[in-house]
Amino acid sequence: MARPRRRLSDALDPLRGDGRGWVLLTVALGWAFTLGLRFLVPTLLPQVKATFGLDNAAAGLAVTVIWACYALMQFPAGVLTDRIGERTVLAASLAGSATSLALLAAAPLFVVFLLGAAAFGVGSGLYGPARGLSLSKAFPRNDGAAFGITLAAGSLGSAVIPLVAGTAVGVLGWRLLVGSTVPAFLAVAALAWVTLPDPIDSATRSDGGSPTDATPSLRAVIRSLPRALGNRNVLLASVAFTFYLFAFQGLTAFLPTYLVTHEGIGQSLAGFIFALLFVGGTISQVAVGTASDRYGARPVLVVVAAVAAVTLLAVPAVDGRLAWGVLVFLLGTRLALAPVTNSYIVARLPADVQGAAWGFLRTCLFLVGSTGSLFVGAMADAGRFDAAFLALGGVTAVAVGCYAGLPPSS
């Protein structure tokens, strides 16, 4: 036991010291709640559909609204992060998400539920750019590992929260389950405010000037975007990630519903199987993030995307609970694409508009990707659930080609 513990300690040592351990812990914990709650809604879709009398397309619209509003907030969040600092944006994101979840839990009509979904998308949408910049600044030499651990924490939250919800929804109901998460978000918001450094204050103390003196105007930021985004490798990785997000959104929005309605698996067991997707993601994100630091991004991205395509294409052929457990675990390895792609893109953006450029890119990526759930919902209502997953596999295969086009030295 001593040797594995020593290896773990050696791996974590570069990520600690000078308050960086607290940065990683707080950002990862906040992401665990933010991402976990985003996947709580797909887990509870059967109950939400029954409450409001929805079909699959309408239910898919609710998930799309979350992701679309999340996407639309990325550019504003990046600009805000450049101006007021990561600490303020991350704390505001968590507090805003808590408020939106209270609205979701109390929604008397589906239109109010959609408003709550939109508010959660806006609140959680503030988190991504500030999270990425916080980690990139704190871990310039180990960003792959830091991103991997953070996104693995999100995958762990996405495994545990839907699993608990799928088991307890029959007793507690979906409203109480959603509402019970509000205090946790408020607690992590307070932790972020207390523990994260404020880069604005740091800049002021270091040079004695006003931090806004060096902050470009919004017009200057917008004019700088073509320069920031003109890097061929940034564009290629971004296109690949868009295809990945479309497939990922379609898969995660309807996999629990597919298992319950199409495969005849009980919701508690379906929730457990769905959780395996994020268990697989947690393991692969930590391992792949470290591998990308050692071997480069391109070979890692190509291999993981290829596995992601093959496993999606296998969905219609799988039968039996054990087989589903194995396949869903393997499907989770696709989550390892996110930390490597994130760190790859962020590292290639100009420092002076890094937050705004990354936020703008994330708006484009997630806005297109958010339509994946609407696509799968419409296909399901047309009786073509299996064909929808085959299409998602084909889309992921295109991402493999994009990743393969990155330079060998990446």
Question: Per residue in 259-284, pLDDT tens?
Answer: 888 888 887 788 888 888 888 887 88
Mean pLDDT (whole number) for 349-359: 75
> Confidence class of residue 112 from pLDDT cuts 50, 70 and 90?
very high
pLDDT in the model for residue 391: 95
- What does each C-alpha distance from 398 to 25, 204, 241 come to in angstroms? 35, 46, 10
pLDDT for residue 205: 37
Tell me the residue type at 224: S
Are 116 and 107 in contact by the 8 Å Cβ rule? The answer is yes
The pLDDT score that the predictor gives to residue 243 is: 93
Cβ pair 349, 228 in contact under 8 A: yes
What's the pLDDT score for residue 409?
Answer: 65
Measured distance CA(2)–CA(233) in Å, rounded: 42
Which three-class secondary structure state does DSSP give residue 354?
A: helix
Check whether 15 has a pLDDT greater than 60: no
CA end-to-end span of the chain: 35
Lowest mean pLDDT among 90-94, 318-322, 339-343: 339-343
- Name the more confident of 137 and 27: 27
Q: How far apart are CA 394 and CA 386, in angstroms?
A: 13
On the 0-12 / 13-18 / 19+ scale of CB atoms within 10 A, 318 is: middle
Average pLDDT over residues 375-389: 89
List Cα–Cα distances, 118 to 63, 104, 121, 124, 361, in angstroms: 9, 10, 5, 10, 20
Q: For residue 218, what pLDDT is reported?
A: 65
Of the given ranges (169-178, 289-298, 373-382), which has the lowest mean pLDDT?
289-298
- pLDDT at residue 90 in the model: 93
Model confidence over 47-69: pLDDT tens digits? 888 898 888 888 888 888 888 88
Q: Which amino acid is at 22?
A: W
Give me the pLDDT at residue 143, please: 66
When the pLDDT of each residue in the chain is averaged and rounded to a whole number, the result is 82
Q: What pLDDT, on the 0 to 100 scale, is given for residue 199? A: 59
Cβ(338)–Cβ(245) below 8 Å: no
- Decide: residue 186, CB within 10 A, 0-12 exposed, 13-18 middle, 19+ buried: middle
Confidence of residue 8 (pLDDT cuts 50, 70, 90): very low
Mean pLDDT of 242-268: 87
Instruction: Give the model's pLDDT for residue 211.
Output: 45
Instruction: Output the pLDDT for position 294.
Output: 75
Stronger pLDDT, 358 or 121, i.e. the higher one: 121
Yes or no: say if 386 and 248 are a contact pair by the CB < 8 Å rule.
Answer: no
Q: Is 141 helix (H, G, I), strand (E, B) or coil?
A: coil
Q: Which run of H or E residues covers position 406?
A: none
Q: Is the pLDDT of residue 4 over 70?
A: no
- The answer, yes or no, to whether residue 151 has pLDDT greater than 90, is no
Query: Per-residue pLDDT averaged across 9-17, rounded?
Result: 51
Query: Mean pLDDT throughout 153-157?
Result: 82
The pLDDT value recorded for residue 75 is 81
pLDDT at 224 over 90: no
Q: Between vectors from CA 112 to CA 64 and to CA 154, what angle results, nearest 5°?
A: 45
Q: What's the rounded mean pLDDT across residues 271-300?
A: 80
Q: Would you state the pLDDT for residue 141?
A: 67
What is the mean predicted confidence (pLDDT) over 181-189? 93
pLDDT at residue number 382: 87
Q: Please report, as a single letter, which amino acid is at residue 202.
A: S
What's residue 14's pLDDT? 55
Is there a contact between 214 and 359 (Cβ–Cβ < 8 Å)?
Answer: no
Given a contact cutoff of 8 angstroms between Cβ atoms, the answer to whether 125 and 72 are in contact is: yes
Does the pLDDT at position 206 exceed 70? no
At residue 115, the pLDDT reads: 93
What distance in Å separates the CA atoms of residue 24 and residue 135, rounded to the nearest whole number? 7
User: What pLDDT digit, counting tens, does each position of 325-346 carry?
Assistant: 999 999 998 888 887 888 888 8
User: Which of 292, 23, 286 shows the shortest CA–CA distance to 134?
Assistant: 23
Output the CA–CA distances (angstroms, integers) from residue 24 to 30, 93, 283, in the order listed: 10, 17, 17
Q: ∠240-360-90 over CA atoms, to 5°?
A: 105
